[in-house]
Structure 1
Amino acid sequence: MLEHHTVLTFAVAVFFLLITPGPGVLTTAGVGAAFGRKAGLQYVSGLCIGNALVGLAVVTGLAAIIFALPLVRNVLLVVSALYLSYLAFRIATAGSKISFIEADSRPGFFSGVTLQAINPKAYAVNTTLFSGFAILPDALLTETVIKFGILNAIWIPIHLLWLAAGIYVERMELAPRIQFRVNLLMACSLMVVVILAIYSLL
């Protein structure tokens, strides 16, 4: 029997887990600000597919097997932490122009897929959502399909809003000091993700 209150709780958890700044939404805003709507939509499409692949890895236990191997887990953690720290550094040193993320070439679909593959927040969020919130305890497959549906119904609009925010903020021509503060805030947010990812795996 479908647990309606659990469905609502699950949806609320999805919203709050996704609305907080992470590599996906920050880079989405950056691509929108730097390259516009078309490039942003391609990038978000890649993120969406990448997130679905991470979700499948979590559901099938593949992620658990990979992270159970200390060497593989540590290598992925180091690569992820270094990449996200690099993004934070680029943002923090962008000066008085909002960049969210500076890019030398236009990120596309495969850039989005790749980012999600090494995004620690993606694994943490999917693990939390798919391992908890028993919507249909006796029908795991149906429950998984429902969760994927709810997840994407919230995930996609949130990322499109961040994309729109990046495009809009770029057009606002804010004062240099405000843009500098926004960059620092975004960089600090990314570093918090890095620190939490490292802490969770220690």
Structure 2
Amino acid sequence: MLTFAAAVFFLIITPGPGVMTTAGFGAAYGFKASLRYLVGLFIGTNLVMLAVMTGLAAVILSVPWLRNVLMFASVAYLLYLAGRIAFAGAKVAFMEAKSPPGVLGGITLQAINPKAYAVNTSLITGFDYAPDAFLFEMISKALIMNIIWIPIHLAWLWAGVSLHKLNLSDRTQRTINILMALSMLGVVALALWSASRGAG
């Protein structure tokens, strides 16, 4: 169980769309406005976890055309969120972004987030510490994952908010937002590369 907890920590803390957007929106909009988005991410990640535990995710992702549709939707939505972050601190922006996506935005991201499915699948199926007590194992895994998920994402939000509170110049704020958005695009590129390797 301790090995499982360590794996959860390292897989969740690594930059992915969830933590990058959490930090990005925290830097761009502050804590209160971004907290609703974080609540949505929490709900979404638990829905993905449930889908993996019940086998629904495996059934859906086994259909090639549906998997491709989800990947396209994921990339498109991540690009949209990267744009929201990149231009949030700019006075002249490609799109006006007065507030981050709310609860629904967080749920939507996790529903189509390739990292969410990959992490949950590897954690749920890769650590068999109670093979004779399936229900206990699933419930304990869900509790451990949530106990670790919450402080990690709050820490990323705090990191973003700390940048926000520094009252940086518009130019510096815009640079930070663009760097965060570019990091997210890197995650998108990795997801596409991983998907292409899986298909090949």
Once residues 76 and 59 of structure 1 are traced to their aligned partners in structure 2, the CA distance between those partners, rounded to angstroms, is: 19
Once residues 55 and 5 of structure 2 are traced to their aligned partners in structure 1, the CA distance between those partners, rounded to angstroms, is: 23
Partner of 1:3: none
- Alpha-carbon deviation of 1:108? 1.7
Partner of 1:14: 8
Alignment of 1:23 onto 2:41: no
Q: Residue type of the partner of 1:194? A: V
- Alpha-carbon deviation of 1:36? 3.3
Look up the SS of the partner of 2:97 in the other structure. Answer: coil
Over 3 Å counting, the alpha-carbon distance change for 1:131 and 1:73 in structure 2 is same
Look up the SS of the partner of 2:157 in the other structure. Answer: helix
Once residues 104 and 80 of structure 1 are traced to their aligned partners in structure 2, the CA distance between those partners, rounded to angstroms, is: 23
Partner of 1:162: 156
**Consecutive unaligned residues in structure 2, runs of 5 or more:** none
Alignment of 1:37 onto 2:25: no
What is the TM-score normalised by the length of structure 1?
0.83
Alignment of 1:139 onto 2:133: yes
Question: What fraction of aligned residue pairs are identical, expressed as a percent?
Answer: 60
What is the TM-score normalised by the length of structure 2?
0.84
Which deviations, in whole Å up to 9, do the C-alpha atoms of 1:95-119 show, x marking residues without a partner? 779xxxx834442222211111111
Cα contact 1:121–1:193 (8 A) shared by 2: no
Which deviations, in whole Å up to 9, do the C-alpha atoms of 1:13-57 show, x marking residues without a partner? 111111112211222223333443333322211111110000011
Over 3 Å counting, the alpha-carbon distance change for 1:36 and 1:170 in structure 2 is closer
Once residues 90 and 29 of structure 2 are traced to their aligned partners in structure 1, the CA distance between those partners, rounded to angstroms, is: 18
The range that moved more, 67-76 or 82-91, is: 82-91
**Consecutive unaligned residues in structure 1, runs of 5 or more:** 1-6
Cα contact 2:16–2:187 (8 A) shared by 1: yes
Partner of 1:152: 146
Once residues 78 and 196 of structure 1 are traced to their aligned partners in structure 2, the CA distance between those partners, rounded to angstroms, is: 14
Once residues 128 and 185 of structure 1 are traced to their aligned partners in structure 2, the CA distance between those partners, rounded to angstroms, is: 29
> Once superposed, what is the RMSD of the aligned Cα atoms?
2.4
The alignment of Structure 1 onto Structure 2 pairs a total of residues equal to 192
Q: Residue type of the partner of 2:126? A: G
Partner of 2:195: 201
| 1:64-75 matches, cutoff 5 A | 64-75=58-69
Cα contact 2:37–2:104 (8 A) shared by 1: yes
Q: Residue type of the partner of 2:74? A: S
- Alpha-carbon deviation of 1:125? 0.8
Once residues 160 and 181 of structure 1 are traced to their aligned partners in structure 2, the CA distance between those partners, rounded to angstroms, is: 23
